[in-house]
Amino acid sequence: MAENNNWLSQLGHEVTDVDFKELGISDDIIGSESFNRVMLDKMHAENVAGYIAKGLNENEAKHKADKQRSMALKAAKAAGLKL
């Protein structure tokens, strides 16, 4: 099995990349260096959809989701996590 690259695993938690498969992460992404980027993109899309469902227009939803992704990237960098 390839190395677990997810941020929780990097922080020492017993969470494997395979644990995220049920979220629709494909086998070719699991264990790859692009794992966290794919997860960020997936969460961004879900955040946009969630904000739209709450009544925001698409531009507002994307703006809020962009801010969430930016905050996640800054926190990961500050914690020394690899993308």
pLDDT of 2 above 90: no
Q: Determine if the pTM surpasses 0.85.
A: yes
Q: For the chain, which residues make up each domain, given as ranges?
A: 7-78
How many other CB atoms sit within 10 Å of the CB of residue 55?
A: 8
What digits encode the pLDDT tens for the residues 64-78?
Answer: 999 999 999 999 999
What digits encode the pLDDT tens for the residues 17-71?
Answer: 999 999 899 999 999 999 999 999 999 999 999 999 999 999 999 999 999 999 9
Using an 8 Å Cβ cutoff, are 50 and 31 in contact? no
Helices 35-53 + 58-78 axis angle, to 10: 140
The whole-number pLDDT of residue 1 equals 54
The whole-number pLDDT of residue 40 equals 96
Which residue carries 């531009």 as its tokens?
A: 59
Nearest to 44 by CA among 25, 18, 28, 63: 63
pLDDT of 16 above 80: yes
pLDDT of 15 above 60: yes
